[in-house]
Amino acid sequence: MSQATITTGGCLCGGIRYEIDGPLAPIQLCHCTQCRKAQGTAFAANIPVPLSRFRLLTGRDLLREYESSPGKYRAFCSHCGSPVFSRRDSMPQGVRVRAGLLDGDLPTHPATHAWVESNANWWDIQDELPRFDKAMPTPSI
Ligand SMILES: [Zn+2]
Ligand SMILES: [Zn+2]
């Protein structure tokens, strides 16, 4: 008998808290220049989540969005700066949460590298996961 799983997450200051119902999709590592700048790291670790399974618990007033390219929004905490999720007008059914904000051990793991052509020259990709020069062929969300 499987138990309903709930994964919780939140920003650095704790003002924004959310929960996700059900299993988590594989983590998509994105090396694109925008993700690097938005996260301040070599890549972003993104998990697509259907909106129907994503619940914002606190901090709606803290959430701000930056439209990093037309129709694509990166939501962040206006108090501590944590990147919370991104979303696209063209895919209104879901958001892509940043895995680093999730609490505890996750029941998922990285599965792909995207935008490898933009990978920082100071970061060696050393695993054997599938790599895509540009975007994933069929982004789910
Ligand atoms: Zn915060
Ligand atoms: Zn990216």
What is the number of structural domains in the chain?
1
**Is 75 inside a domain boundary?**
yes
**Is 132 inside a domain boundary?**
no
**Is 129 inside a domain boundary?**
no
**Is 63 inside a domain boundary?**
yes
**Ligand 1 midpoint to CA 92 (Å):** 24
Which residues of the chain have a pLDDT value below 70? 1-3, 139-141
**Is 138 inside a domain boundary?**
no
Q: What local confidence, expressed as pLDDT, does residue 3 receive? A: 60
**Ligand 1 midpoint to CA 17 (Å):** 9
- For residue 76, give the ligand nearest its CA: 1
Alpha carbons 32 and 36: distance in angstroms, whole number: 6
- For residue 68, give the ligand nearest its CA: 2
* CATH code of the domain containing 15: 2.170.150.70
- Residue 36 near residue 120 (C-beta atoms within 8 A): yes
**Is 123 inside a domain boundary?**
no
Q: What single-letter DSSP state applies at residue 53?
A: G
* DSSP H helices in the chain: 33-39
**Is 108 inside a domain boundary?**
yes
Instruction: Report which residue type is found at 50.
Output: P
Range of the domain at 110: 6-118
Percent of the chain with pLDDT over 90: 93
Those residues with Cβ within 8 angstroms of residue 29's Cβ, 6 or more apart along the chain or in another chain: 43, 44, 45, 46, 110, 112, 113, 114, 129
